[in-house]
Amino acid sequence: MVIVDDLSHGKRANVPAGARFEHLDIRSPEAAILVREGRFDAMFMLAAQMDVRVSVADPGADASCNIIGSINLLEAARHATHRPRVIFSSTGGAVYGDASTPPSPEESPKDPESPYGISKLSVEYYLAYYARTHGLDTVTLRYANVYGPRQDPSGEAGVVAIFCQRLLDGRPLTVYGTGQQTRDYVFVTDVAAANVLASTAKLPGVRRLDDRAFNIGTGIETSVLNLAESLQRAAKVSVPVEFAPKRDGEQQRSSVKIDKAAKILGWKPQMRLEKGLALTYAWFNKPG
């Protein structure tokens, strides 16, 4: 196994023992050579600029990393001596927008609200193009809001990490607006399992964008207020909840339908929210 990361956001300490690590930018010629000559069976495309706010502040930088970086890897995979199956990490939390009623199936209308959602959806179109035109074996996984140990507060499920830190500091949990806005929280080990299954599953051919796209979530909508309560129960810590003004442009409801992943990938989420929150809190609460 080879892991490529430019460490712009990731940590060297998270690379598992036994994996080869290449400190490279996915836009670099060196990363392309690695993919072309590495004889990999699967290429998991996780490296990305994943902060929605950064994408709003600097859409060009977001597109450079997420779109140009992905094209570099896809071109390399197309010309590889041994072509890998390509498994792309996209976002069910950001590509559907408020255009569809949750839980959104894969064929829902796409209407991303942010440059980040647009760059992810663009790469999905490139995957479909490479599959149809060049016969590349591609899969898209559209994650809901991923949470778990080691998560960063700036990610799509950042609220879990932020709330964990608040509980540890004994500070109030800040809820924007009514707290009734919903998200679909999926645990990180369930997402890892989906990637493994997607790397070997027998899949249909690609004619349209959604043919090889799979939602990876729970199908369950959890409101911010419910999350705050569940986390406090799981952590066995209680702090006040304080309300702040609604944030402009915030999506009100989000969850993804997961029947397709169950049927074709044989995947189902295993982790219940409260247990996952307890494991996440325990990680934030660890000594050192």
Residue at 212: amino acid letter? R
Residues 62-81 within binding reach of ligand NAD (CB under 6 A): 65, 69
> Which residues, other chains included, contact 155 with Cβ-Cβ below 8 Å and sequence gap of 6+?
50, 51, 146, 161
Distance in Å, CB of 70 to ligand NAD, minimum: 9
For position 7 contacting ligand NAD by CB under 6 A, the verdict is yes
For position 146 contacting ligand NAD by CB under 6 A, the verdict is yes
For position 113 contacting ligand NAD by CB under 6 A, the verdict is no
Q: Which two tokens stand for residue 143?
A: 């994650």
Give the C-alpha separation, 243 to 260, whole Å. 37
Between 27 and 83, whose beta carbon lies closer to ligand NAD?
A: 27
For position 139 contacting ligand NAD by CB under 6 A, the verdict is no
- Residue whose entry in the numeric block shows the structure tokens 């995957």: 127
Between 5 and 124, whose beta carbon lies closer to ligand NAD?
A: 5
8 Å CB contact between 260 and 129: no
- Please pick, from the candidates 62, 106, 113, 156, the single residue that binds ligand NAD as defined by CB under 6 A: 156
For position 49 contacting ligand NAD by CB under 6 A, the verdict is yes
For position 145 contacting ligand NAD by CB under 6 A, the verdict is yes
Residues 189-208 within binding reach of ligand NAD (CB under 6 A): none
Which is nearest to 199 in space by CA: 260, 117, 266, 105? 266
Task: Determine the distance from the C-alpha atom of residue 188 to the mean position of all C-alpha atoms in its chain, rounded to a whole number.
Answer: 9
For position 105 contacting ligand NAD by CB under 6 A, the verdict is no
DSSP 242-259: EEEPPPTT------B--H
Q: Is 116 a catalytic residue?
A: yes
For position 9 contacting ligand NAD by CB under 6 A, the verdict is yes
For position 93 contacting ligand NAD by CB under 6 A, the verdict is yes
For position 6 contacting ligand NAD by CB under 6 A, the verdict is yes
Between 52 and 175, whose beta carbon lies closer to ligand NAD?
A: 52
For position 182 contacting ligand NAD by CB under 6 A, the verdict is no
Q: Which two tokens stand for residue 132?
A: 């149809």
CA distances (Å), origin 16, targets 12, 103, 121: 9, 35, 30
| Per-residue exposure over 147-179, b if at least 16 CB sit within 10 Å of its own CB, e if not | bbbebeeebbbbbbbebbebbeeeeebbbeeeb
8 Å CB contact between 102 and 182: yes
Size of the site for ligand NAD (CB under 6 A): 27
Between 80 and 148, whose beta carbon lies closer to ligand NAD?
A: 148
Bridge partners for 43 per DSSP? 86
The residue from 116, 130, 143, 281 that is catalytic is 116
Give the C-alpha separation, 190 to 268, whole Å. 8
For position 26 contacting ligand NAD by CB under 6 A, the verdict is yes
Chain residue at closest Cβ approach to ligand NAD? 10
For position 215 contacting ligand NAD by CB under 6 A, the verdict is no
Binding site for ligand NAD (CB under 6 A): 4-10, 25-27, 46-50, 65, 69, 89, 91, 93, 143, 145-146, 152, 155-157
Q: Return the active site residues.
A: 116
